Structure 1
Amino acid sequence: MNAVDTNVFVYALDVDEPVKQTKAQQLLKDLTAGADPTVLLWQVAGELLSNLRKRESAGRITATDVQMHFDDFLAMFPLVTPGAAVFPRYFDLHARFSLSHWDAMLLAACREVGVTTLYSEDMDAGTDYDGLKIVNPFA
């Protein structure tokens, strides 16, 4: 199962980064059409909404755009929310890999729901976190 980090969704909308925008859009299209399921993690959805609101506050998009883009991303993949088991995984991953708080939370959530590949620009590509592989789609 796959998951996509917030940065991929953000780049899919970022006209200031046309190369990354194209790669992000193609990845999302491929994952949507692919046989291997992809999920949208609750944390990623929250971070994405926060990013869209920042763009709105900066006058780059409207409130209507925020909801439209957010709804479009929500429609791509099933939204999953981890349970309480995410916290022991979080503490373990945080300690063993010296991860930031939010990265450890994301990886723990991925592991809990069965994600084996996380597409992200922000973590060490190629690193295996207990069976979870990080792939940088922009490399």
Structure 2
Amino acid sequence: MTAQFFIDSNVLLYAASQHPDDQTKRKIALDLLRKPGLGFSAQVMQEYFSVAYTKARLGISLEVAMENLEWLARRTTLPITPNLVVMATRTAARYQISYWDAAIISAAKVLGCHTLYSEDLNSGQEYDGVRVVNPFA
């Protein structure tokens, strides 16, 4: 299982957001989701649903959130495994970042991605061969 680039949950959230202030980011996110080579992890799916379901501001209905999860489930998705957890803890310690960010980076690395699209990490920084790019900057 391989992918060319990895997306974080914030990209998915902007793609689904109905909030008027998010429309520019929505277009960027949708363009990324249309690119071939997309990869992400089960953690990204979990984070997406957790926020989409609880943040009324985004205007994402439960039905739409579920449909999006079903679409995601048909894409290259790395499961959470014990080895991934261990790898993420090492990455978190090495870079002094949160476990959750490290798990995203580690999943991208396992999938062979050299680019991670996220607005949550330092854009331009490389972590173990995975470069973070903020697509909204």
Under a length normalisation based on structure 2, what TM-score does the superposition of the two structures give? 0.83
1:69 is aligned to 2:72:
no
- The alpha-carbon deviation at position 10 of structure 1 amounts to 0.2
Identity of aligned residues (%): 28
Do the aligned residues in 1 keep the contact of 2:18 with 2:60 (CA within 8 Å)?
Answer: no
Aligned partner of 1:42 in structure 2 is 42
Do the aligned residues in 2 keep the contact of 1:82 with 1:112 (CA within 8 Å)?
Answer: no
Amino acid paired to 1:26:
D
Secondary structure in 1 matching 2:14: helix
1:9 is aligned to 2:23:
no
Change (3 A) 1:59 1:79: closer
Change (3 A) 1:95 1:53: same
Residues 69-112 of structure 1: per-residue CA shift (max 9 Å, x gap):
3223334x222214322233222211121101210121122222
Cα-Cα RMSD: 2.1
Do the aligned residues in 1 keep the contact of 2:5 with 2:113 (CA within 8 Å)?
Answer: yes
Amino acid paired to 1:24:
A
Change (3 A) 1:61 1:86: closer
Change (3 A) 1:53 1:130: same
Do the aligned residues in 1 keep the contact of 2:89 with 2:99 (CA within 8 Å)?
Answer: no
CA distance in 2, matches of 1:79, 1:10: 17
CA distance in 2, matches of 1:120, 1:109: 14
Report matched runs for 1:100-115 at 5 Å: 100-115=98-113
- The alpha-carbon deviation at position 59 of structure 1 amounts to 9.8
Change (3 A) 1:82 1:113: farther
Unaligned stretches of 5+ residues in structure 1: none
Change (3 A) 1:59 1:101: closer
- The alpha-carbon deviation at position 3 of structure 1 amounts to 1.0
CA distance in 2, matches of 1:127, 1:21: 24
Under a length normalisation based on structure 1, what TM-score does the superposition of the two structures give? 0.82
Runs of 4+ in 1 over 4 A off after TM superposition: none
Amino acid paired to 2:93:
A
Do the aligned residues in 2 keep the contact of 1:85 with 1:112 (CA within 8 Å)?
Answer: no
Secondary structure in 1 matching 2:82: coil
Secondary structure in 2 matching 1:85: helix
Unaligned stretches of 5+ residues in structure 2: none
